[in-house]
Chains A and B, each alone.
Chain A
């Protein structure tokens, strides 16, 4: 079946430009997460959407970062005025939510962002 998809797979942008990263979760998954993974590092939580609840934005590193999720499905992560330190792989994950191992996250392939 279809997994989590992300686009673009690679994005090179100039410092100061805005970028949008897209995530299509698995159909029926109510929870959606964005993470950032810098080279050789672990995952850094950015934002979490659960159903129609207000998102948990506690991981967003600055106000240049924002995300939205339309219709409880597709999500877009926007980075404004990109900086070189924003260069990383941005991973999206979705889960069925609820309880126990239903929290298992299925990850997309990621978007590699390079800010020059």
Chain B
């Protein structure tokens, strides 16, 4: 079974608008971390934001925020005020702290920001 699901293979957003990239996960571990990474066309993986399973508040990092709904097992990434440079692949990832020792990545969402 997929541990990380990203149902949107591709998304378009108009420059300066907000966009939400979906991520749902599957785990029976009570302690885990959720991560979002950006991969531009140049290929490097760039860490964006982290949410711990015990964090009560949604994580925010500049224009990025994570809409964490623990009961629904979702960790959607919200990008506010999209910029052309936000066009990239976005990967959601999870690490289970008790049951697993490695990261599991979702299949990714390709975001295209339109001028």
A contacts, CB < 8 Å to B = 33, 35, 41-43, 45, 48, 50, 56, 58-59, 89, 91, 93, 99-101, 103-107, 109-110
B contacts, CB < 8 Å to A = 33, 35, 37, 43-47, 50, 52, 91, 93, 95, 97, 101-108
Query: Which residue in A45, A50, A59, A91 is a CB contact (below 8 Å) of B45?
Result: A91
CB <8 Å contact, A104 and B35: yes
- Closest Cβ of chain A to B4, distance in Å, is 8
**Contacts A48-B102, A58-B102 known; A104 to B44 CB distance under 8 Å?**
no
Across-interface contacts of B46 in A (CB, < 8 A) = 107
CB <8 Å contact, B105 and A42: yes
| 6 A-B pairs in the complex with CB atoms less than 8 angstroms apart | A33-B103, A42-B108, A43-B91, A48-B102, A100-B33, A105-B47
